[in-house]
Amino acid sequence: MEPETTRRRFLSGAAAAAGAFTIVAPQSVRGSQANSQIAVGLIGCGGRGSYDASIANADPRAKVMALCDKFPDQFDKSETTIKSRNTRKYTEFEKLLAAPDIDAVFIVTPPFEHPRMLEAAIQAKKHIYCEKPIGVDVEGVKRAMAAGKKADKTKTIAVGFQQRYGPEYLEAYKRIKNGDIGELANARGFWIANDPFTRKPYDPSVEKLRNWFCYKEYSGDIIVEQDCHNLDVLHWFLGGLPVAAVGRGNKKVRKDMDILDNLTVIYQFPNGFFVNFEANQLTPRGYSKVGEEFTGTKGTIATSRARMTHYKGPRDSEDIPTKRDITIDAIEAFLTRIVNNDPENVVERSALSTCIGILGRKAVYTGREVTWKADIGIAAA
């Protein structure tokens, strides 16, 4: 676990950052209304990439100027979602990165591509918003971390772990660190929901790439590609990394994909603190349970993208619903840091959160206990 003083410093910094997430007049970016907007390029024009870019484009401080995708049939739908017109189109991301008038890029491609694209964007000296996870294996994560350490310190490099920027998550973190639920005794995470993927027919030459989520070498499997959100929250709130993990998982319903549809992992954190994580993508629509729970000696706090609930005692609870999609909070924070010349580089912490998923995946795949030291081997700075 990291020292308590370090965690207090992070909390105060997070709270200060949350207070700074306000809209700034566009002309303050570079000094005049005409040329002040942050010029954004999107790499990866699928549904998620187009959604992220639409948030940026709706912000008066930014404008999506360029799109890049290996498959040009994505462009029209992407422009419609983003509500942009006459954007420059690229099929090679290197050409978009070479454009001198592009200030910031969103990297929203299949996860196995993140390390090399993040590295290239850093070398091109762009502000970067890279979707999670950082990579799908230890080698890729190490590549991204090495690139992150060489990044221009004036550039903001954000990663799509949106919970870090959600007001309700920040409030929950503050309460736990302030001792509002007493001494933390137990934590767990869960992503219990329906299958989010629809496999589509494509020419065999591109089928695996276009249905990337079906293949563990492209997606990292569900615990890395999707569940890394929960694992990042555990990394953040617990203030450290697991030392070992055991797990099991299989395919019970979705047997036509090269990924699991259910799994359970027990992570051992320092000082004998055990955390259970459970996930599935087989629950019929109509029910879902996605989030985290933190239990202390005086109460429990439950967190999710929808709400924060503080259970204080019998018939005594406080429920704070989320006012909007926390992705908006994350992207507004990214733009605010650019506007305010207040850079942040979160590659390392995001890489370590990704590795929690990789450790759990190895535990499930091998059926044995795995350890951070032997199976990940990356030390936090």
**Predicted confidence (pLDDT) at residue 381 exceeds the cutoff of 80:** no
Buried b (16+ CB within 10 A) or exposed e, 221-237: bbbbbbbbbbbbbbbbb
Measured between alpha carbons, how far is 363 from 232 in angstroms, rounded to an integer? 18
Q: Give pLDDT, residue 380.
A: 81
Type of residue found at 41: G
> Average pLDDT for residues 269-289, to the nearest whole number?
95
Q: What is the pLDDT of residues 18-49, one digit of tens each?
A: 333 333 444 444 433 335 899 999 999 999 99
For each of the domains in the chain, give its residue range(s) and CATH number, in order of start: 19-163+330-345 (3.40.50.720), 164-322+355-375 (3.30.360.10)
The pTM (predicted TM-score) of the whole model is: 0.90
27-30 own/partner pairs: CB under 8 Å, 24+ apart? 28/339, 29/61, 29/338, 29/339
Q: Give pLDDT, residue 15.
A: 38
Backbone angles phi, psi at 67, to 5 degrees: -125, 145
Q: What is the pLDDT of residues 316-332, one digit of tens each?
A: 999 999 999 999 999 99
> Average pLDDT for residues 55-78, to the nearest whole number?
98
Please report, for residues 103, 117, 152, 301, 370, the alpha-carbon distance to residue 38 in angstroms, rounded to integers and kept in the order given.
6, 20, 18, 38, 44
Write down the mean pLDDT value for the chain: 92
**Predicted confidence (pLDDT) at residue 9 exceeds the cutoff of 70:** no
Percent of the chain with pLDDT strictly greater than 90: 88
Q: Give pLDDT, residue 35.
A: 59
> Average pLDDT for residues 362-378, to the nearest whole number?
98
Which residues are within 8 A (CB) of 128 and not within 5 positions of it... i.e. 6 or more apart?
104, 105, 107, 118, 121, 122, 155, 156, 157, 158
